[in-house]
Amino acid sequence: MQTLINHILNDSEIELKNILNYWTTQSIDELNGGFVGQRDYYNNVVENASKGIILNSRILWTFSAVSNHYKVNNYATYCNRSYNYLKDFFKDERYGGVFWELDATGKPINKRKQVYAQAFMIYALSEYYQFSKKEEVLNWAIEIYNLIEKHANDAVFNGYIEAFNEDWSSIEDMRLSDKDANEAKTMNTHLHVLEAYTNLYKVYKNDALKRNLTNLIQLFFDKFLNVDTHFQLFFDEQWNAKGTIISYGHDIETAWLLIEAAKVVEDKKLIAKTESLAITIAKTFIKEGIDIDGGVFYEFQPETNSLDSDKHWWPQSEAMVGLLYAYKISNDEKYLKKTVEILSFIQNNIKDIKHGEWFWKVNKNGEPDRNQYKMGMWKAPYHNSRGFIMLQKLLTS
């Protein structure tokens, strides 16, 4: 087992360094400030591409997290550049929170308040605060937290409403992206509110925040978890389930993020409960979600018995962390072996040796989708860098 552990530690160091090298050399927007909006499959800058809050908040989180993990100042320039751009261009000074999208020059073109995006700002700001120790950073994170609780927290049915207009009034189309269902409550948004509140509580020991985070953990057991050990993705306001699609990446990501949240609130019963669930989910995940080549499938639709066998970049990272967590809990070597298999799949199929970074996805035959961008609204260094940081943390703690 030690040989496998050493293999993971060594490769995670190398791969994380490669990812950071790509983003430090390829993402800076020298013309308009901040970071470029998009690079295509061939790594060409897409002129006049808009700039999304998800990409930019994840960049801030990544460089801050790496700085905190390695306890270095090497990436301070990128942390500060990212924070200043977010503050100067994405921050809504009138209604609070952050805009969804800017044009290439930094002008807002979509001012909607997606709760998913607000959560990522909290996640990024709380990480940057750990690095910078600037009180204004923590204050901004707390301000956004209070806005979510004021406008999105459903006092009647529990949980969080998906999206709002610029002024936090109700919005008809709540969808996070074109592929999502237009429903009031989604597992994905709740997951990233949980993730954000977990990170915020590390630096802001507030009793109300602790209660809200504990409530979120419980919601995953009471509402999102179904009898087949998968997490239901879409609900209406009153928690009526909509659709049955299974997202393998979200299943395994949720398993380990719930443990992290339970540890932060220091609830021994919740820690035991989330660890037990993680093992259950990991068993199902290995049985259903991994191909014979070691890659993680994207989705499965039970209603039509239809498998999306494409392998997207982000579920591969989340699977490594979730399965390694299962190994740490159970000491069962099969989870360690599966982690190594997925790591090898990434290196042989997802990693773009020619152009840098990772492909968006490959198909069943391992062929990359050349129509998908390398960097953009939804493709940032967050999943893969976090994956390797977590592997190192789990194996050295």
> What residues contact residue 11 under an 8 Å CB cut-off, 6+ apart?
343, 347
pLDDT score at 180: 83
Summarised one tens digit per residue, pLDDT across range 162-178 is 999 999 999 999 998 88
The owner of tokens 């809504």 is: 92
- pLDDT of 66 over the 90 cut: yes
Measured in whole angstroms, how far is the alpha carbon of residue 192 from the centre of its chain?
7
Condensed to tens digits (0 to 9), the pLDDT of residues 74-105 reads 999 999 999 999 999 999 999 999 999 999 99
Report d(CA 164, CA 150) in Å as an integer: 12
Supply the pLDDT for residue 285: 98
CB 388 within 8 A of CB 16: yes
Q: Quick check: 228 pLDDT over 90?
A: no
Q: Over the stretch 230-239, which tens digit does the pLDDT of each residue have?
A: 999 999 999 9
Please give the full DSSP string across 149-212, using - where no structure is assigned: HHHTB-TTT-SB--EE-TTS-B-S---SSTTS---SEEHHHHHHHHHHHHHHHHH---HHHHHH
Q: Which residues contact 74 (CB under 8 A, 6 or more apart)?
A: 67
Which domain does 233 fall in, by range? 2-396
Q: What is the pLDDT of residue 120?
A: 98
CA distance 200 to 112: 23
Beta bridge partners of 45: 39
Per-residue pLDDT band for 350 (boundaries 50, 70, 90) equals very high
Mean pLDDT for the chain overall: 97
Q: Which residue has the higher pLDDT, 50 or 173?
A: 50
Query: What letter does residue 297 receive in the DSSP assignment?
Result: P
Do β-strands 234-235 and 246-247 pair in parallel, antiparallel, or remain unpaired?
Answer: unpaired
What's the CA angle centered on 165, arms 121 and 97, to 5 degrees?
25
Alpha-carbon distance of 274 to 250, in angstroms, equals: 15
- State the pLDDT at residue 314: 98
Question: Chain-centre distance of CA 62, in angstroms?
Answer: 11
Q: Let me know the angle formed at the C-alpha of 191 by 189 and 192, rounded to the nearest 5 degrees.
A: 70
d(CA 37, CA 103): 9
**pLDDT, tens only, 286-344:** 999 999 999 999 999 999 999 999 999 999 999 999 999 999 999 999 999 999 999 99
With pLDDT > 90 as the criterion, what percentage of the chain qualifies? 97
pLDDT at 397: 86
Give residue 345's Cα distance to chain centre: 21
**pLDDT at 227 > cutoff 90:** no
Residue 56's domain is classified under what CATH number? 1.50.10.10
Q: What is the pTM of this model?
A: 0.98
Helix (H, G, I), strand (E, B) or coil at 47: coil
Whether 275 contacts 259, CB under 8 Å: yes
20-27 — which CB contacts under 8 Å span 24+ positions? 20/66, 20/75, 20/381, 20/385, 21/356, 22/356, 22/357, 22/381, 23/59, 23/62, 23/63, 23/78, 23/357, 23/381, 24/75, 24/78, 26/356, 26/357, 26/375, 27/59, 27/375
- Number of domains, the chain: 1
